[in-house]
Structure 1
């Protein structure tokens, strides 16, 4: 019993924390609260027009539609409205046809119509709105209202609710999603740096197979972050489509160019390949474990410097001119970070040069592990050079022009 009470107390505390964050700081909790209140407001407004002012016979359909049309983006609201209208038309006409075919026998009509509408609800073109096909059919069959005038009323009230939902979502704090892009972009750089620091410390101290496997798992999660970043960017781009509120904003949120996604995709992949090579050196096979001690010392220095490049990454550096107009001293701060990135990259490249010279040094045996580690880190530094320059191909201006279009 005490376990149940602890679970209830935990849920209550979680709800309270979410409510507090929704009030005190911007974030997903506040976004959810705003969208929920907008949906409720759209439903109330639709009922006021259809039920209270107009006294429509099917007034329930207007607020019912408006509630579900307030989506997370204006574009999605319009898209959902078109889907829902098609679904309601389909469900209503099938139900009316079934009622006329069975002589207004609701049980027999349901036996004919509901299997067809439930199957239609899974049609990909209807998306998440497909579930309303059997719901619309049930409204018709349960109330026995399928005359031409009743059908026109149903469709008109559905359109009324959809229009109200779209207008409310577009006119009242229209949602723009860019926070996840900025958060994931910063998190990707920081977690890459943290992993490279951890590996550098491990190479210096010595590591076993389990520790190397943990590094490789963390590297795999970095590639998952890149996937999340791409998903968040698609969501951000969709939020700008058909969004009138964007033109009313005094300033746009700074978003890293989508060209960075490809750059970090390559960087995280090279980190994963490098750590895979290191993991193989811990497997006890002589051909893989024979790495000179000097190579381990150089590798520690190289990886720590590569981590510094990631840690000093700042996508706003690519937008320094634009940012300096908003925040005094921003351009100078970006310039300092750029200098630190270049210095860290230079240290890493110098260390890699010493590592490569071991391959031709007759005092050391050339092993597959040493050759693979040299090749992997060379590719990693080549991709990190893009970050150190602060501007991938395409540049931030391309991102802004894409958003404008």
Structure 2
């Protein structure tokens, strides 16, 4: 079962990625046969196969890594082959030297693996043929260049929508956490209820990490993308939202922790707590309002949203019961920070 899991992934790559890779390999093969005297342009096909990546930026980086590795491998193989020939032990020694050189130069994993592979192929397929090594370098340039062009021309994939969905989901879950805290302050809670509240709040951290990762992937997908200027506006809005969310996540978890640690059944009878509960519900409403995506009816209540945010001015707190002042003070400070992030004060 473990072996099968390692071989398979939960989601297939986009079919467009498969088409682009196939087209790049085919064009690289044909172009190399037309431009270079080679029956089997293996280096061009391998370059195209490995260089096509989900984004243009990643494709450019992989093209540089791939080409650098091939050049390094060809140089090492040609030098050793010229002096020592092509015997079996020479090929083995060349591979070991290539691995050592890649390690000494601190090359990336792609370049580090490409150097010994290229060196081995050059020695095995024709190091003694005049001009063979140089032709393989040209061949790699052809394959990598065609892959880069294909990835830029055929609908470069952008990851704006996944980023927007991740940010919106996180914002709505933070709002749900505020609503759950407000409800817990108004109604009696059992220890199991408080524990469930804490568990759900802790899930905000991995969701925040996923949102940041999605934003970074979206940023990367736009680099060197011809449609960058047109798509940038939507990503900027999500990026602005992610600047608010870390503080809101921290405060949501902090309020949940304070409620979990200092909860008392008599807490619901505190006048300040009831007012705080109402204000926290307003904060949840306003956060949903900020996170609303055009056309997304799940992000806001069905009733028409007001033109302005619902949060009021900071509450005036009467002196609480001595058993409750630590919790109420902690909640109020967290609410103050929440209000600053949502209203923008």
Q: TM-score range by the shorter chain?
A: 0.7 to 0.9
Alignment partner, residue 113 of structure 1: 94
Match of 2:115 in 1: 133
Give the direction of change, closer, same or farther, for the CA distance of 1:133–1:204 in structure 2 (3 Å limit): same
Number of the residue aligned with 1:259: 240
Match of 1:303 among 270, 273, 280: 280
Q: Could you tell me how far 1:299 is from its partner in structure 2?
A: 4.2
Contact kept, 8 Å, 1:314 with 1:337, in 2: the verdict is: no
Pick 1 or 2: higher relative contact order, CA cutoff 8 A, min separation 6.
Answer: 2
User: What runs of 5+ residues in structure 1 fail to find an aligned partner?
Assistant: 19-28, 283-287, 318-326, 328-335, 390-405
| 1:215 is the counterpart of 2:197 | yes
CA RMSD of aligned residues (A): 3.5
TM-score, normalised with respect to structure 2:
0.82
Using structure 1 for the length normalisation, give the TM-score.
0.71
8 Å CA contact 2:167–2:238 kept in 1: the answer is no
Aligned partners of 1:106 and 1:141 also within 8 Å: no
More helix by share: 1
Q: Is the 8 A contact 1:69 1:165 kept in 2?
A: yes
Q: 1:193 aligns with which of 170, 175, 179?
A: 175
2:248 and 2:196 mapped to 1: Cα distance?
19
Q: 1:166: which partner in 2?
A: 148
Shift of 1:292: 6.3
Superposed CA offset, 1:61-107 (max 9, x none)? 11111111111111221221111111111112222333344332222
CA offsets 1:216-261 (integer angstroms, 9 cap, x no match): 33333323333322222222222222223446x6x76623152322
Q: Tell me, yes or no, if the aligned pair for 1:69 and 1:80 is still in contact at 8 Å.
A: yes
Q: Deviations over 1:102-121 (max 9, x none)?
A: 332222431x2223333555
Structure 1 374/89 Cα, relative in aligned 2: closer, same or farther at 3 Å? Answer: same
* Structure-2 change in CA distance of 1:168 and 1:104 (3 Å): same
Q: CA deviation at 1:368?
A: 2.0
Q: CA deviation at 1:172?
A: 1.3
Separation (CA, whole Å) in 1 of partners of 2:333 and 2:31 = 70
Aligned length: 332
